[in-house]
Amino acid sequence: MHIRLPSVRHPHSFYDVFGVAATAVAIMALVLTIWHGSVIRIEMVVLIAIVFLWAGWAIERILAESEEQSKQRGRRLPWRNQ
């Protein structure tokens, strides 16, 4: 069985988004368990903000690729009113 690792540069599915977000949350939980400084907390907030922005970009990219593939096949997307 072939298991594909989540892609950060070229996300192809929501599996990629979930994998990266879950990994970031696990790293944040591990770091905050070990260290308790205020600087560390600020760094973790910045990390989560970056992951949140990346997830938005990745979801937008996945949906755009899906729309492009659908147009190539000549199908109309049900959520578009064009």
pLDDT at 20: 92
CB 16 within 8 A of CB 58: yes
Q: How far apart (Å, rounded) are the C-alpha atoms in residues 65 and 60?
A: 9
Distance CA 61, CA 59 (A): 5
Token pair in block for residue 49 = 């903000």
Output the pLDDT for position 22.
93
Averages of pLDDT over runs of 10 residues in the chain (82 residues) are 76 89 92 86 91 94 86 67 56
Distance CA 36, CA 41 (A): 7
Whether the model clears a pTM of 0.85, i.e. scores above it, the answer is no
Distance CA 50, CA 34 (A): 22
Q: Where are the domains of the chain?
A: 14-64
